Structure 1
Amino acid sequence: MKLMKRSMTLVLSLMFVLLTACGGGTTSGNVSNGDKPNSSDNAESIKWDFAIFVGLTHPMGVLATDFADEVRKKTNGKLDITVRPAGELPYKVDEFVRVTGDNSVQMSDPISFFIAGDLGAGALPNLPYLVENFDQLDETMEVLKPYVEKDLSKFGTKMLYYYPWPPQNLWGKGDLISSLGDMKGTKIRSQSPEQSVFAEGLGGSPVSLVTAEVPAAVQRGMADAVITAALNIEGSKWNDFLDWGYMIGLQTPPSYVIVNQQAYDSLSDDVRAVLDEVSNDYQGKVKQRMQDIEEQSKKHLTDAGMKIVDAPQDEVKEMINQSIPYWTEWAKEKGPDAEEALQKVREKLNK
């Protein structure tokens, strides 16, 4: 019996030595690059997923990848963010706030249109003709940021930074329209309740479609026009089935790049500081980048044969005046925070 016990002890000791030699010890975190530390001090990397609703080659996909690369570089690999493009994960963009909140992903980039249902005052930039250009969005966000943070905190998320999508315009197939009155009876793809109200105001029928559904819907006659920016027309290759653009400057919506609050809080001080630094940097430099890409996209589309014209200023002014009562009605339905924020934004923008 004693001999058997000594044998078992010897076997267990040998197993422990072999496991240790083969790397069988446990670690407290994930390590990137094939389980090899990629930082100079051999610290284990923290792996995050960053969900976006476009492809990696889309301008916004490139932007997200650049952001992740810069964070990885400046943290020496301690924070390893993987960008997950549309279709890679089983989450729709209108679920991004919630799946980020429950830590299914640690970061996401939803445009304000798609998460309007989860936002209160934070959805203000979606209103027709309230925020018409990049500068007005910056002024609006000076007022709106605390309200956005309050909206997002209800889901266990916070905003790292925002960036502007270019002004949203009308794009369609067939003959170029000469006025918004020509949109009566047409089917217009809508990305938000606010765009649906605008489409109905034109006498059109709003059609709710996710980004991936748009090409087939237009080609099959389920939609005649879309509301979006030139960079998205080019980036998504929608110019293959659309013929014209009518520049109305309907909205300049933000994308809110958000993070799971607990994941953010669990970062070490040095890594969190880098993440904040890169976020603040992108907050400042993306505006000019979006302006440049939008102008380049318009030129590319025109050179490819698409007809792009500006709506007459008197028509735009008329649409602004018609939109003001809806702003008030919208804010009242959203609640006191939205009413307060709308008043402050209108004062800021002198509208």
Structure 2
Amino acid sequence: MTRLSAILTASTILATAGAAQAADWTGYTYSSVSTTAAVQGMERITEEVAETTDGELDITLHLGKTLQIASSDITQAVGDGIVDFAADYFFSGSVPIARVLNLPMLINSEEEWATAYDAMEPYLREGFEEQGVVYLGGYRYPQQTIFTTFEIDDLSDLEGHKIRVTSPEQGQFIESFGGGAITLSGSEVPTSLERGVIEGVLTASAGGAKNWGEFLPYNYRFAVNYGNSVIIANADAFEALPVEQQEALRNIVSEEGPAITEAFMEDEQVQMDKQQSAGMTIVEEAEGDSDAALEQMQGYWTEWAEDKGPQYVEALQAVRDALGK
């Protein structure tokens, strides 16, 4: 080999090595509204990752419904490598043990959420790992309260009314007070409210009520449970990254997840004020409703876990021990 050939060969090897380190990822989020705290946070993550890695890890974020991926299939799409990086709110179908965190009345404050989340994190990591996915972090919505088309002053007013829920656990809560639970996609909610298919929803002021408030004249500020999203990556794509890029992505998500949560908390009050100014009647929690709901739900937590298996019993107990419940 001539000296010139050796130089060219070495240059080719170096260029190839550099190219191997660069990664162009496809990102996806369930939210289709670019102005939400969730989407804005995901956009910050992609921008910070590109800047921190000098463009070696570039993530193109796609909003909900812009790719042919159902909301309930996002985690599976990440595991299958259809997308490399995503935020998923509807992940409990793929990692059902995560629903421990969403059990009605189990977690009743931001402080309790943080404690319970720490206890659940090992189970979350394992659950996503089984799907071929790396769990990086997440963020939380404000507490889910009750928005209705009918006048509501306490939980007994749910009797005989049809309420849209996003999980079987929320459905159990509604049915415990005589209501009917119906599961619908978010896109179906407005027309279903107009037609009387449903008469209310469980959501947050800064969540679904931000879009559906015009159909919901009443908000009963009874906190049923929290909803949360996870931020995840395809395991093979993540492991192919250089260690420093893996660490950068983890660190950025760990900072932005709480920032998204905080933005939602601030927006919750802003949206409540807007909704009330627009004519929504906001009713504070009635005395005795929390005790009544807790009495209804405590036995259900145990039955729910035992029905699903030993790992669920263990995870629930870990959370209850951490919370002192």
Same fold (TM over 0.5): yes
Q: Which residue of 1 aligns with 2:38?
A: 60
Q: Which amino acid in structure 2 is aligned with residue 226 of structure 1?
A: V
Deviation at 1:56, TM superposition (A): 1.6
Q: Which residue of 2 aligns with 1:18?
A: none
Tell whether 2:195 aligns with 1:195.
no
1:83-138 CA-partner distances (Å, limit 9, x unpaired)? 22221111112111111100111122222xx3323224321011111112322111
Q: Percent identity?
A: 27
Q: Which residue of 1 aligns with 2:121?
A: 145
Please give the alpha-carbon distance, in whole angstroms, between the structure 2 residues aligned to 1:205 and 1:126: 19
Q: Which residue of 2 aligns with 1:262?
A: 236
Tell whether 2:217 aligns with 1:239.
no
Q: Which amino acid in structure 2 is aligned with residue 307 of structure 1?
A: T
1:211-253 CA-partner distances (Å, limit 9, x unpaired)? 1111111111111100010101454x21121111111111112
Please give the alpha-carbon distance, in whole angstroms, between the structure 1 residues aligned to 2:171 and 2:155: 15
The 8 Å contact of residues 193 and 200 in structure 2, kept in 1 or not, is answered as: yes
Q: Which amino acid in structure 2 is aligned with residue 221 of structure 1?
A: G
Q: Which amino acid in structure 2 is aligned with residue 146 of structure 1?
A: P
Please give the alpha-carbon distance, in whole angstroms, between the structure 1 residues aligned to 2:30 and 2:52: 22
Please give the alpha-carbon distance, in whole angstroms, between the structure 1 residues aligned to 2:16 and 2:201: 48
Q: Which residue of 2 aligns with 1:5?
A: none
Q: Which amino acid in structure 2 is aligned with residue 47 of structure 1?
A: W
The 8 Å contact of residues 161 and 282 in structure 1, kept in 2 or not, is answered as: no
Q: 1:282 to 1:59 in 2, by over 3 A?
A: closer
- RMSD of the TM alignment (CA)? 2.1
Please give the alpha-carbon distance, in whole angstroms, between the structure 1 residues aligned to 2:293 and 2:272: 23
Q: Which residue of 1 aligns with 2:311?
A: 337
Structure 1 stretches of 4+ with a deviation exceeding 4 A read none
Q: Which residue of 2 aligns with 1:20?
A: none
Please give the alpha-carbon distance, in whole angstroms, between the structure 1 residues aligned to 2:187 and 2:16: 39
Tell whether 2:303 aligns with 1:325.
no
Q: Which residue of 2 aligns with 1:170?
A: 146
Please give the alpha-carbon distance, in whole angstroms, between the structure 2 residues aligned to 1:44 and 1:272: 13
The 8 Å contact of residues 183 and 204 in structure 1, kept in 2 or not, is answered as: yes
The 8 Å contact of residues 47 and 82 in structure 1, kept in 2 or not, is answered as: yes
Match for residue 101 of structure 1 among 79, 90, 102:
79
Please give the alpha-carbon distance, in whole angstroms, between the structure 2 residues aligned to 1:245 and 1:28: 59
The 8 Å contact of residues 133 and 234 in structure 2, kept in 1 or not, is answered as: yes
Please give the alpha-carbon distance, in whole angstroms, between the structure 1 residues aligned to 2:119 and 2:86: 23
Q: 1:283 to 1:85 in 2, by over 3 A?
A: closer
**Secondary structure in 1 aligned to 2:101?**
helix
The 8 Å contact of residues 120 and 334 in structure 1, kept in 2 or not, is answered as: no
Q: Which residue of 1 aligns with 2:320?
A: 346
Match for residue 135 of structure 2 among 133, 152, 159:
159
Please give the alpha-carbon distance, in whole angstroms, between the structure 1 residues aligned to 2:202 and 2:305: 23
1:157-215 CA-partner distances (Å, limit 9, x unpaired)? 121112111100000114x2111111111111111111111121121211111111111
Q: 1:325 to 1:271 in 2, by over 3 A?
A: same
Please give the alpha-carbon distance, in whole angstroms, between the structure 1 residues aligned to 2:132 and 2:208: 33
Tell whether 2:280 aligns with 1:306.
yes
Aligned length: 310
Tell whether 2:147 aligns with 1:179.
no
How do residues 32-51 of structure 1 correspond to structure 2 at under 5 angstroms?
44-51=22-29
Q: TM-score, normalised by structure 1?
A: 0.83
Please give the alpha-carbon distance, in whole angstroms, between the structure 2 residues aligned to 1:89 and 1:227: 27
Q: More deviation in 197-206 or 93-102?
A: 197-206
Deviation at 1:45, TM superposition (A): 4.7
| 5+ residue gaps, structure 2 | 1-14
Tell whether 2:104 aligns with 1:128.
yes
Tell whether 2:252 aligns with 1:278.
yes
Please give the alpha-carbon distance, in whole angstroms, between the structure 2 residues aligned to 1:74 and 1:246: 44
Q: Which residue of 2 aligns with 1:290?
A: 264
Please give the alpha-carbon distance, in whole angstroms, between the structure 2 residues aligned to 1:104 and 1:160: 18
